[in-house]
Amino acid sequence: MYLYPVLYIKYIILKAMATKNIKFNIFRLILQWIILGLLGYMVIRLWTDKAYFADFETYCPFGGLQSLGSYLVNNTLACSMTTIQIAMGIVLMAGVLLFSKLFCGYLCPIGTLTEWIGKLGDMMRIRVTIKGGLDRIIRMLKYALLLLTFYFTLESSELFCKKYDPFYAVFTWFSYDVNLWYAIIALFVTITGALVVRQFWCKYLCPLAALSNIFTFILLFIGVFGIYIILRISGLHIGWIWPLIVICSLAWVIEAFRLKGLFMPLLRITRNDTLCTHCKICDKVCPQGIKISQCDIKIRHIDCNLCTDCIAVCPNKGSLTINKLRMRWLPSLLTVILVISGLLMGAYWELPTVDQRWGTDEEMRNAKVFEMSGLKSIKCYGSSMGFISQMHEVNGVLGAATYAGSHSVKVFYNPAIISENQVKAAIFSPLKYIFAKLHPLPFQIQVLELYINRFFDRFDSYYLTKLFEQQESIYGFETQYGEPVIVRIYFVQQSLTPEKIRQIIESKSVTYTFRGEQYTEPLNFTVPKINPVILTIDSLSFRQRLFEPYKDIFMSSEQAEASHIKIYQIHMPQAADPNLSMWLPYLGNHLSADSGIVSFETIYDTSAIAIIRYDTVITSQDKIFELLTADSLTIIYTDGTIGKVVNPFEFR
C-alpha cells in the first residue's frame, strides 16, 4: 500500500465517501471556496481579456499594514498600496484583538491550500507534527521574516514581501517584482513543508501570523511603542527599527514559553468538561494539531484561529462552543462583517500615497490648495514621487500630495506668486510627436488646430498617439496647455477632413498592440471646437516645429576653461525618431563618463544634429566618436551601480 501512494489516496477517498454522517464545517468551506473562486476568476480573465489588469494585492491586509508603517515612518504609502489595503489591515488587527485570527482561518489562500496539501500528507502518512523544544525554537523564523520584511519595506517604500511571497509569485506568474530565487525557495519550502509538517508555513514562516500574534499581545505592543515615543519626546533619536526588534523578540519569547495569548482575543472555543466524553475527535480534525480535549475550559492556544472545525465534528452538542454560545457560524459572520467594513472604510477614506510640504509654516498657513482628479499616471509610489519632483521645481508651489487609489493630486501654492491656472499649466505635460512610419514626407502639410475636453494626463497623450498611429495621413501632432487642451494635428487634407479627425478623436475606445499583446482602452474625449483656419507648411518647417531638442550639461562644465572648449558636431537623424529619442538620456549618461565632455545636446537645422562641447586638454573628437559608436552604452545609476544597454544609435 505504501509503495503505491496514488492507489492509497484513492482507497482513502472511497472509504471516506462510504462512511456515513461525514460532518463538514460548511460555513468555513464556503468562504474558502469563494476566495479561491475569485482568484480563479481573476486568473482566467487575465488570460482571456488582455485589457484586464489583475491586481492580486488589492485587498492584501499584510501589504496594507506594511504600507501603513511606511506612511507613519516616511509619510508615503508603500508601492501601489491604497487605503483599501490599509483598511483591510486595520480590520484584520481589530479582528485579532476582538475575535481571533479570522483571516488566517477563513480567508488566507496560502493557509487554505497548505491545509489541504497537509491532508494529502496525512493520507500518505508522511506528515508529522513538530512538538516540544524544536517547535518552540523554530517559531522564531516567522518573527525574523516579519522583521526583515518591514525593515526593507520601510527603507524603500516598496513591498519587500513581493520578492518572496509564494502567493504573489504564483498568481502573477513570477512578475518583475518577484525575486525568482527567493520565490522558488519559498514556494518549494511552503509546498513541501505543508506536505510533511503540520501547518509549516502558518506556524513557522508566515510573517502575517507573527504580526497577528503581536496584536494578540497588544499590551506588549503598546508598552514598547509607548516607551519609544517617550524616549523620542525626551530628545533621544532612536530609530524605528529598535522598538520593532524588541517587539518581535519579546513576542517570540512569549509565544515560545506560553503558547498562549495574554488577554486577547475576546472570543474563545470553550469546552464543557461535563458533556465532553474525551473521544478526541476534535484533536484529530484540528488543522493546527491542538489537543483540544486536554485543554482548559477555554482554548487559549496561540495557534487557534477559531476555525470551528472541532465544533463541527463534535458528537456531543454543547460540549464545544464559542464563549459557551452554540453559534459556530458566528466567526464566519464576523469575518464577512470585517471584510465589508474594510471595503467601506477604503471606499470613503483615502490616505495620500505621498504627501510632502516644503513651504515654511507661515507660507503653509496662507497657502491655497488646488485639487485635480483623473490623472491616470498617478498610480504608485514611483509615479507619485515623479510628480512631487515636478512640482518642487515650480516657483510658488509649497507642497503636493498624491492619491494613487483615486488617481488624484492636491497642490499647495502661494497665490501671491502663482495662480491656479499656472499650477494647472505646470501639471500639464505638453507633447510633440512625429510618426516615424511615413518617409519621405510630402512637401506640403496641413495644420489643423482643435480643442479636446477630458484630456490632461500623459496616458491621454499616449492613447491619442495610438489613435493617430492608425491613420496613414497623419504625420504628427503637438499638445499645448489650455482649457480645453489645444492640439495641433499635421496631416494631408486630401485624405482626411477636419470632421473625420474629430470622429477619430471621439472614438469610444482605442485598440493597440504592446509587446505582442493586444489591449483595448475606453476613451471619453470630446472636441468642442475646431479652428476653421487650416495652415499649410513645408516638410522642413514641420520637422523643425515638432522636433524635441535635448540638452544635458555635465558637472565638468564648472571646471572647464572657456579657451579650451570646442564644439564637436555630428549628423544624428535618429534624434528625430520619437521611438529612439527616449534613449537620449542614456546616451548622455554614457558620454558623461568622459570627464572632458562638457555638454551634449541635439538640435534641428535642416536635419537632426548632435552638438558636443568638450575640453580639448582632456579629450578629443576621436575619443568622443568612439563613445558614440560603442556597441553598448555604459550607464551609471543614481545608487552608484553600473549597467549596460545596447546602443540604439548609429553615427557615421
Which pLDDT value is given to residue 143? 95
Give the model confidence (pLDDT) of 457-502 as tens digits.
888 999 999 999 888 889 999 999 988 999 999 998 888 899 999 9
* Mean pLDDT, range 593-599, rounded to an integer: 89
Partners of 367 in the β-ladder: none
Task: Indicate if the pLDDT at residue 8 is higher than 90.
Answer: no
Partners of 643 in the β-ladder: 635
Q: Measured between alpha carbons, how far is residue 205 from residues 49, 145, 190, 193, 194 in Å?
A: 35, 7, 9, 10, 11
The CA distance from 281 to 350, in Å, is 47
Give the model confidence (pLDDT) of 93-132 as tens digits.
899 988 989 999 999 999 999 999 999 998 889 999 999 8
Domain 366-427 identical in fold to domain 547-646: yes
Sign (positive or negative) of CA dihedral 412, 414, 420, 423: negative
Enter the C-alpha cell of residue 538: 513645408
Q: How many other C-beta atoms are found inside a 10 Å radius of the C-beta of residue 393?
A: 8
Eight-state DSSP code of residue 323? T
Topology of domain 366-427, per CATH?
Alpha-Beta Plaits (3.30.70)
Q: How many other C-beta atoms are found inside a 10 Å radius of the C-beta of residue 427?
A: 21
Partners of 369 in the β-ladder: 412
Task: Indicate if the pLDDT at residue 22 is higher than 60.
Answer: no
pLDDT band at 620 (very low <50, low <70, confident <90, very high): very high
**Torsion on CA atoms 139, 142, 147, 153, rounded to nearest 10:** 180
* Mean pLDDT, range 506-526, rounded to an integer: 85
The CA distance from 633 to 309, in Å, is 62
Which pLDDT value is given to residue 50? 67
Whether 613 and 570 have beta carbons less than 8 Å apart is answered as: no
Percent with pLDDT over 70 in the chain: 94
Taking alpha carbons only, the member of 341, 404, 380, 334 closest to residue 90 is: 341
Which pLDDT value is given to residue 437? 56
Burial of 84 (0-12, 13-18, 19+ CB in 10 A): buried
Enter the C-alpha cell of residue 209: 501570523
Which pLDDT value is given to residue 402? 92
Whether 464 and 505 have beta carbons less than 8 Å apart is answered as: yes
Which pLDDT value is given to residue 21? 46
* Mean pLDDT, range 309-328, rounded to an integer: 88
In order, the DSSP letters of 266-310 are S--EEE-TTT-----HHHHH-TT---GGGS-SB--BTT-----HH
The CA distance from 146 to 163, in Å, is 13
Cis amide prior to 243 (ω within 30 degrees): no
DSSP H or E run through 488: strand 485-491
Task: Indicate if the pLDDT at residue 449 is higher than 70.
Answer: yes
In order, the DSSP letters of 228-259 are HHHHHHTT----THHHHHHHHHHHHHHHHHH-
Partners of 520 in the β-ladder: 511
CB contact set of 374 (below 8 Å; sequence gap of 6+) = 407, 408, 454, 456, 457
CB contact set of 322 (below 8 Å; sequence gap of 6+) = 267, 268, 269, 270, 306, 308, 311, 328, 330, 331
Whether 449 and 537 have beta carbons less than 8 Å apart is answered as: no
Enter the C-alpha cell of residue 587: 546616451
Q: What is the average pLDDT value for the chain, to the nearest integer?
A: 87
Partners of 509 in the β-ladder: 522
Whether 151 and 172 have beta carbons less than 8 Å apart is answered as: no
pLDDT band at 51 (very low <50, low <70, confident <90, very high): low
For 547-646, the fitting CATH number among 3.40.50.720, 3.30.750.24, 3.30.70.100, 1.10.3210.10 is 3.30.70.100
* Mean pLDDT, range 422-439, rounded to an integer: 82
Domain assignments of the chain as residue spans, ordered by start: 366-427, 432-545, 547-646
Least confident of 55-64, 366-375, 466-475, 477-486: 55-64
Radius of gyration of the chain (CA): 32
Which pLDDT value is given to residue 6? 44
Q: 168 or 652: which carries more pLDDT confidence?
A: 168
Cα-based angle 86, 371, 154 (whole degrees, multiple of 5) = 30
The CA distance from 181 to 111, in Å, is 22
* Mean pLDDT, range 51-70, rounded to an integer: 81
Q: How many other C-beta atoms are found inside a 10 Å radius of the C-beta of residue 5?
A: 14
Whether 135 and 48 have beta carbons less than 8 Å apart is answered as: no
CB contact set of 211 (below 8 Å; sequence gap of 6+) = 62, 65, 146
Which pLDDT value is given to residue 439? 58
pLDDT band at 9 (very low <50, low <70, confident <90, very high): very low
Eight-state DSSP code of residue 197? B
Q: What is Dmax (Cα atoms) for the chain?
A: 102
CB contact set of 563 (below 8 Å; sequence gap of 6+) = none
